[in-house]
Chains A and B, each alone.
Chain A
Amino acid sequence: MTDRALDLLQGTLDVLVLRTLAWGPMHGYAVSRWIHDRTDGAIEIDDAALYKSLHRLEHSGAVDAEWGLSENNRRARYYKLTREGRRQLRSQESAWRRYAEAVSKVLAPA
């Protein structure tokens, strides 16, 4: 583990991507920026891993992909959550919360 950023487990990345897309359809670059901005750069995501996650989620039916025009009029691949994706997000989110709480309890000064 480096000082600069946290390495992310695959499942963690997936839940972050799902959460991001819950805001609305985005292309891959936008997802990357969004996560970077939201975490103030604390979580630096390897772009390769991000795209793998997006296509993996598409394969599992959690997201749908569609070509569209970006804000600067370029052809970009947009991803949006499917109903299945929302369901996955809900269940993983609550699992993550419980996990994070448990970890903070352990780490908190008694």
Chain B
Amino acid sequence: MTRKLFRLPWRTAQRIGEDVDDELRFHMAMRAEELQSRGLTPEAAIAEATRQFGDLEDARRYLQRMDRGTEAARRRRDYMGELKHDIGYALRKLRSAPAFTITALLTLALGIGATTAIFSVVHGVLMKPLPFPHPEQLVRIWSDNPEAGIRQSAVSPVDLDDWRAQRTAFSDIGGYWYQNGGSGVDMTGEGEPQRLSTSFVEPGFFPALGVQPQIGRLPREDEMHRGGPDRVTVLSYAFWRRQFGGSPSVIGRTLTLGGEPYEVLGVMPRSFAYPDDQVDLYIPYSTIPDDGIPRTRTNHVLDVVARLKPGFSIERGRAEMAAITRRLSEQYPEDKAWTGASVEPLRDVIVGKVRTGLLVLLGAAAFVLLLACANLASLLLARATTRERELAVRSALGAGRGRLVRQLLTESMVLALAGGALGVLLAIAGTRALVILGSTQLPRAAEISLDPAVLLFALALSMLTGLIFGLVPALRATSSDLQTALREGGRGSSGSRGQRMRAGLVVGEVAVAVILVVGAGLMTRSFLGLLKVDLGFRPDHVLVVNYSMGDAHQGTRAQMRGYYTAVLDRVRAVPGVVAVGATKALPFRGSGERNDFLPEGMVLGSSQEAPTAPYVYVSDGYFQALGVPVLAGREFARSDDDRAPFRLVVNEAFAKKYFPGRTAIGRTVTIGTEQIPIIGVVGDIRQESVEEPTEPTIYIHALQNMRSRANLVIRTRGEPLAMARAVQDAIWSVDRDQTITSIFTLQSAVGEAVARPRLLTTLLGLFGVLGLLIGGIGLYGVLAYFVTQRRREIGVRVALGADTARVQGMVVGHGLWLAAAGIVAGLIGAAMLTRFMRSVLYGVGATDPATFAGVAAVLLAVAFLASWIPARRAARVDPLIAMRAE
């Protein structure tokens, strides 16, 4: 192996040509001499030698070509040999400094692992194409009512028919009605009765998405119209596997759904998880009767997905939808105010909510990695200084600068790749944890995996990392005057320059740490703010049971009323239950049905639209059970049902907006043609989400306007989930066949409502802590080295009578000065970067001064701590020993 250090220089192409000519000239000369000795004249000898040789030009070309190949192969061999040597050397070097190696590996593994884990999520959720053919053509469409400030409302099925009929820019437009946990049918006759999550789809749905079933067929257009043979269904892959074990014989079978026979036509492929992965069945929307969801222009219920024709831009689609909705609004009085439509790429709709959060996380992870790089560069710089003598010796023995840089870089690359390998292991665990933590928050979670693209990313990242943290120290270590290093006996001639560079790195590290901690701080403040939001109700000790009334109970109003009240009464009678109410729209799980109304005393101008508000259907005792204060009047009683006069309860926001400064009790609101009195005002509750302020809301007694779906809100004395069984039994004592969609605590629903900010806060907090830790270690390292380098100076000072405080002050001062520079740079950087977080922050500005000031203080404190330890060591320097050591 040693010979590699002294290998012959490689031959150039020109040199090869000369060598070949020299060799051939020698041959000719020898042959000519031989022939001359046999009596030929010199001229004849040369001519004969040339003749005997054969085709000289051809041979020259052949030899040169062959030699160039030989030379290239030798070069490759030398290079590989050196690489092998360098790797072996690097491994020995790293093994001989285990503390350094382990620190470096862990730092790298954390940085690369975190970045790779987040990247795998970003890749699966944001970057992979949606699992539909030509996904870029897919859009979502909504109705807009600009006058009332309503954007992206659901679409009326009647309007949708007109949209489809008038479309030219879209190859198809399809509507569907689906609510996770909300839209379903009961299946009987296949073992236990089950509630199946169902997407009710309009004719254009499957053609727009463009996915063929895995087996069987899709419904024909005539099978999806009212009055047609529309009792057909298509199964989702997951349901098919779960219920029928993936048996193809299911095609053509008849399932009893909602008490009626449906023929199974097909099974969708596994990748088809639309609208989400909870769907069990697809059933024609036409099967929903008018008394279920009326098919009118005013009833906005459908979500709409559409496919643009090839080559048609989304702007083209928007222009067309604007024209169609304008025409319809002129044509139909019910559509008068619905003058527009929103058209957005499907991809943005699916991943839009999580995009900012994920990108912020990816940025934070990258910053952690950058910190790790800076720290390692700093460590390597320190090592390089102590290795100057070794490098000088090798240089004196003939190793060129390029050769030395390559050797040092090999060392960092070996380190980076090993760290990267560990990082990938971390990323595997991290990605799994992220998918679990984010399961309810991440769309397309099933598409997240450490696939080849992610592994390639990790490899590239590791190599880039190795290059970043290895190149600067390598170039620097080999640039100093190595001769001087030799002469000075390896004390290091460039200590001050190295020190300056490390100081610069530390300033950078502190700056990056500041940015990370500011991000974490802002997110934490925002999250704490969210937790402090007054929800308007008491979520503790509440069990929620979500169910849909079976069809058997939906015959007559009396039947429905009897069943509804019987369930309430039986559950109320369960020991340990304090209060029970029911609602169709549970906070954070539903939002009521938006409709027009006219408050008493309001006169509409001719071009003015009536105001709208969400109508929420609730039972008697609902507000008591939920823990919502009744501010004036009373809440609904059992006697306010459909046999009594229609009455309303409104929330405080409603009373304040429409009856400012007066009492709302006794005033009336016109709904349809009826004037309906308000009997109570209740406190505002957060209905849509924790972040969104409460809207003016109208509450209607559930028995006035029956809906089959209900959430029982059960306030319990003890642990609510412990009551689940007793409550279930109470319901089943009324109807043994009642399916139950879900049971959960209200607390968990609230927790889920803030799950996304919580996840973001946790992860950013983690990255912030990592940043502080790595930054602190970096600062400590530089100062510790500073003290070692200045032992002699410190010794002299102590000998001259400087007291400990003064010596400590010098070191701490140096540390704080570095930290201060970094903090200033970091705060400026943070001010520029945090605006990208604005959309994920609640109730706190992106440049919140308190957060910025707090972070500066925290960083200073960490800096002080990191300086204090080396400072104490400095103060203990014994002047005699320090000076003798030289």
Contacts and interface: CB of A to CB of B under 8 A. Distances in A.
Interface stretch (A14-22, A51-59, A91-99, A102-110): A51-59
Interface in B44-82: 52-56, 58-59, 62-63, 66-67, 69-70, 73
Most buried by A among B19, B24, B30, B69: B30
Contact of A55 (B27, B54, B66, B73): B66
A68 to B, nearest CB: 11
Contact of B66 (A27, A48, A58, A76): A58
Given A55-B62, A59-B73, A29 B26 contact: yes
Given A49-B54, A55-B62, A29 B70 contact: no
B850 interface: no
Given A48-B53, A77-B22, A29 B66 contact: no
Interface string A60-76: 00000001001000111
A84 B318 CA distance: 75
A52 B22 contact: no
Nearest to B34: A33
A30 to B, nearest CB: 8
Nearest to A47: B53
Interface string B6-50: 000000000000010011101101110010000000000000000
Given A59-B73, A77-B22, A47 B66 contact: no
A101 interface: no
Interface string B757-784: 0000000000000000000000000000
Contact of A59 (B34, B55, B66): B66
Most buried by A among B19, B27, B58: B27
Nearest to A66: B8
Contacts of B73: 59
A48 B55 contact: yes
Interface string B225-249: 0000000000000000000000000
The number of chain B residues touching the other chain, given as a range, is 20 to 34
Contacts of A25: none
B66 A56 contact: yes
A46 interface: yes
A27 B54 CA distance: 18
Contacts of A55: 62-63, 66-67, 70
Contact of B19 (A33, A49, A51, A77): A77
Contacts of B34: 33
B29 A74 contact: yes
Most buried by B among A33, A47, A58: A47
A56 B30 CA distance: 22
Interface string A18-45: 0000000001110011000000000000
A47 B54 contact: yes
A70 B69 CA distance: 27
Nearest to A70: B26
B66 A52 contact: yes
A28 B22 CA distance: 12
Contact of B70 (A27, A48, A59, A74): A59
Nearest to A71: B30
Contact of B27 (A29, A52, A58): A29
A38 B69 CA distance: 32
A77 B26 contact: yes
B53 A58 contact: no
B55 A75 contact: no
The prevalent SS among residues of A at the interface is helix
Contact of A52 (B29, B52, B59): B59
Contacts of A56: 66
Nearest to B29: A74
Contacts of A77: 19, 22-23, 26
B851 to A, nearest CB: 68
Nearest to B77: A61
Contacts of A48: 53-56, 58-59
B63 A75 contact: no
Contact of A47 (B19, B52, B62, B70): B52
B482 to A, nearest CB: 33
A92 to B, nearest CB: 20
Contact of B26 (A46, A58, A75): A75
A67 B58 CA distance: 23
Given A55-B70, A77-B22, A47 B27 contact: yes
Contacts of B31: 29, 47
A48 B23 CA distance: 12
Interface in B284-314: none
A95 to B, nearest CB: 24
Nearest to B63: A55
A26 to B, nearest CB: 12
Contacts of B58: 48
Contacts of A27: 23, 26-27
A58 B70 CA distance: 7
B133 to A, nearest CB: 53
A51 B25 CA distance: 12
A48 B19 CA distance: 16
A69 to B, nearest CB: 11
Contacts of B62: 52, 55
Contacts of B54: 46-49
A74 B26 contact: yes
Nearest to A58: B70
Contact of A51 (B29, B59, B69): B59
A75 B53 contact: no
B66 A28 contact: no
Nearest to B8: A66
B26 A52 contact: no
B52 A75 contact: no
Contacts of A47: 27, 31, 52-54, 59
A27 B55 CA distance: 20
Contacts of B24: 51
A61 to B, nearest CB: 8
Contacts of B26: 27-29, 70, 74-77
B63 A51 contact: yes
A33 B30 CA distance: 10
Contacts of A51: 23-24, 27, 59, 63
Nearest to B66: A55
Contacts of A75: 22, 26
A49 B52 CA distance: 11
A67 B23 CA distance: 9
B15 to A, nearest CB: 12
Most buried by A among B29, B31, B54: B54
Contacts of A74: 26, 29-30
Interface of A: 27-29, 32-33, 46-49, 51-52, 55-56, 58-59, 67, 70, 74-77
- Cβ-closest 3 pairs across A and B: A48-B54, A48-B59, A47-B53
Given A55-B70, A77-B23, 4 more contacts: A27-B27, A48-B53, A48-B56, A74-B26
16 contacts: A27-B23, A27-B27, A28-B27, A48-B54, A48-B56, A48-B58, A51-B27, A51-B59, A52-B63, A55-B63, A55-B67, A56-B66, A58-B70, A59-B70, A75-B22, A77-B22
